[in-house]
Amino acid sequence: MPALALFTLRAAATGYTRVNLSSCDSYNHITIKKKFCRGTTKTVLWASLISAIGGLLFGYDIGKIYFSPKFNFNEIYYSLHNYASVISGAILQLQKVFNLNCIERERIVGVMLAGAVGGSIVGGYMIDKLGRWTSILLNSIVFIIGALVMSLAHNYATLIVGRILIGFAVAISAMAECVYIAEIAPSNRRGSLITLNELFITLGLLLAYLINYIFIDVANGWRFMFGLSALPAVFLAVSTYFLPNSPRWLLTRGRERDALTTLQKIRETNDVTTEFQLIKESLSAENASIATTRSKKSFRNSAYLASYTFRSLFSSQGKLRKRLGIVVLLALFQQLTGQPNILYYAPTIFKSIGFSNGSDATLATVGLGMIKTIFTFIVLLGIDKIVTWILISELFPPGIKGRASSVASLTNWLTNFLISFTFLDLSDSIGLSALFFIYGGISFISVGFIVSQVPETKRKTLEEISTDMTAPHTISFPCYWRKGHAGRLPLGNEILLQHSSSFEKYAHYEPPSGTLELPESPTSPSPNPINDSHFA
C-alpha cells in the first residue's frame, strides 16, 4: 500500500490522470485497455440538435399562472400578457371568445399540470420499455395532436383536453431528450450537448414572447398561438425517424448486433470494439448487483439484459436508493429556491419593487428572458470545462434510467405547483423581501448539499460513473481542472495511469502482497507507461 501511495504521488506530479479500478473476475493481475475520447461527430451533433427541439416545444407550451382573488384585473392582465409562454397571450382572447370566468381561466392554464403529472408517471416506464428514440417520436406526435386540438377548439372542454395532452408531452420531453443525448454523446461533450435542451427551452420561452406580441391584437390570434407549435413538432417527428437509437438501450433489450451497428454509426467509424465491450461489461456488472431476477430464459442470450421495476429504485443494491435520493433532492432544491416564481410572476414582482407602469414591467420581463438565454448559452460553452451537474441522465443504469427520471420529474412538477400556488399568499403574509430571504436561505442549503453529496461526472463515461457509484468506498468532490485529474481521491483498488490527448488508460488492479516496483516517470506522454511486469 505505501508503494501504491508513492506511485500515486509521483503520477500526480508528472501529469498522470486518475483512472478508476474495480474488482474484476480474476485477481492478482492487471488489465490495461484504451478508451478513445472521440470528438463530437456530425451524427451526434445532429441527433442532439434534433432531439433538443422537444425542449423548444417545452419552453413554448409551458405555462402555469395561478390566479388569486388578491389580483386585480390590471395585475392579471400584465402577468398574462408578459409571462413567457404562449398560453399567457392566448388566455386573454379565450376569455372573450368563450366567456370564461376566473376559475375557468385558471383551469385552462393550470390543467397542464395534471397532464405533466400523468406524463411523469407514464413517461419513465415508456422510456425504459419502448426506448428513448421511440419515446421522442411518439411524444412529438402528442405535441402535434395537442397543438391541433387547441388551435381548432370550438368549446371549453376541447381546450382542456388539448392542454392535458400538451402537459403530458412536456413532461416526457423533459425526460426523454436528456436521457437520449446522454447515452449517445461522448463523455467529454456530454454536458454541453445535454445543455442544448435547456438552451432550446429558453429559446422556446423567447419565441413565445414574440408570438404573443405578434398575435395578441389579431382576431382569433389564439388559434395561431397554439397551432404554430405544431410546425416544430412535425419537423421533430420527421427528423427523429432518421436518428439512431441508443446503443445502450438496445443492449438492455438483448439486441447486440443492432447496438454495435448503431454505435458505429454514431461514432462514424467501425473501430468501436473497445467502447462497445466496455459498455457490455458495465451493464453486466451493474445488472448482476442491482437488477431483480428475471426468468432464466430471459438471460439465456444476454448477461446484460436485466429486469427493473420502480421498486428497484429503492433498493440498497448498487446504491440505487442513494442515487435516487440525490436526484430527488436536487429536483426539490431546484424548485424550493423559488426560481419558478421569478418567471411566473415577473411582471408583478417588477411592479412591486418600483416599476411604475405595465410597459416598464414588460420591458423588464423581456430583459429577464434575454439574461436567461445569454447565461444558458454561457453554461453551454463551459459546462464540460468547469462543472457538470446533469445527473439524472447520468447516475442510473440504462435499464432503469427512465423510471428514475420519472420520479425526479414528478417531484419537480409537484414541488413547482406547491411553490407557485403559495407565492401570492406568502408574499402578502410575510412580505416579498422576507419570502425571497427564505428562498435565498434554501439556496445556501442546496449549495452545501451539492458540495457534500453530489458526485462530479465531468469527462467520465457513463460506465465510469456507474462504477464510481457502486464502489463501496468513494470520496467525491468537485474538481475544476480541465485536464489531468478526474476529481476523486484514489481509494482501494485504484491506480493512476498516464493521460494522453487522444486517450486515457485505466486498469483493473488487485494490489499484490509483495513490494510494488515503481516504473520510471516518462518525460513525455507514452501510450504504454506501464506494463504487466511492473506488477508481477
> Domain for residue 21, yes or no?
no
- Which CATH number fits the domain that encloses residue 361? 1.20.1250.20
Nearest CA among 483, 474, 515, 519 for reference residue 501: 483
Question: Which pLDDT score, from 0 to 100, does residue 79 have?
Answer: 42
- Average pLDDT per block of 10 residues along the chain, 536 residues long: 38 36 34 43 90 89 46 41 54 81 76 85 86 92 95 92 92 86 82 81 80 80 91 95 90 88 90 85 66 42 54 70 84 83 66 63 65 70 48 68 79 80 79 87 89 74 65 44 38 37 39 43 42 40
Question: Which pLDDT score, from 0 to 100, does residue 392 have?
Answer: 63
Report residue 365 as a C-alpha cell.
Answer: 420581463
H or E element: which one contains 19? strand 16-19
Q: Looking at the 3D structure of the chain, how many domains does it have? A: 1
> Domain for residue 214, yes or no?
yes
φ, ψ of residue 34 in degrees (nearest 5): -100, 140
**Three-class SS state of 499:** strand
Question: Which pLDDT score, from 0 to 100, does residue 230 have?
Answer: 94
Question: Which pLDDT score, from 0 to 100, does residue 295 have?
Answer: 41
Burial of 346 (0-12, 13-18, 19+ CB in 10 A): buried
Nearest CA among 51, 86, 121, 73 for reference residue 407: 121
CA 127 to chain centre: 14
Question: Which pLDDT score, from 0 to 100, does residue 365 have?
Answer: 62
Looking at residue 197, its amino acid is N
Report residue 459 as a C-alpha cell.
Answer: 469527462
Nearest CA among 165, 193, 213, 201 for reference residue 42: 193
173 vs 449: CA distance, rounded Å: 27
Rounded to 10°, the helix 401-430/432-453 angle is 150
> Domain for residue 444, yes or no?
yes
Question: Which pLDDT score, from 0 to 100, does residue 123 have?
Answer: 85
Spatial neighbors of 469 by CB under 8 A, at least 6 apart, are 318, 319, 322, 323, 395, 455
> Domain for residue 205, yes or no?
yes
> Domain for residue 333, yes or no?
yes
> Domain for residue 441, yes or no?
yes
Instruction: Print the domain residue range for 97.
Output: 42-245+314-453
> Domain for residue 330, yes or no?
yes
> Domain for residue 169, yes or no?
yes
Contacts of 367-373 with C-beta under 8 Å, sequence gap 24+, read 368/342, 368/343, 369/84, 369/202, 369/205, 369/206, 369/209, 370/206, 372/202, 372/205, 373/199, 373/202, 373/203, 373/206
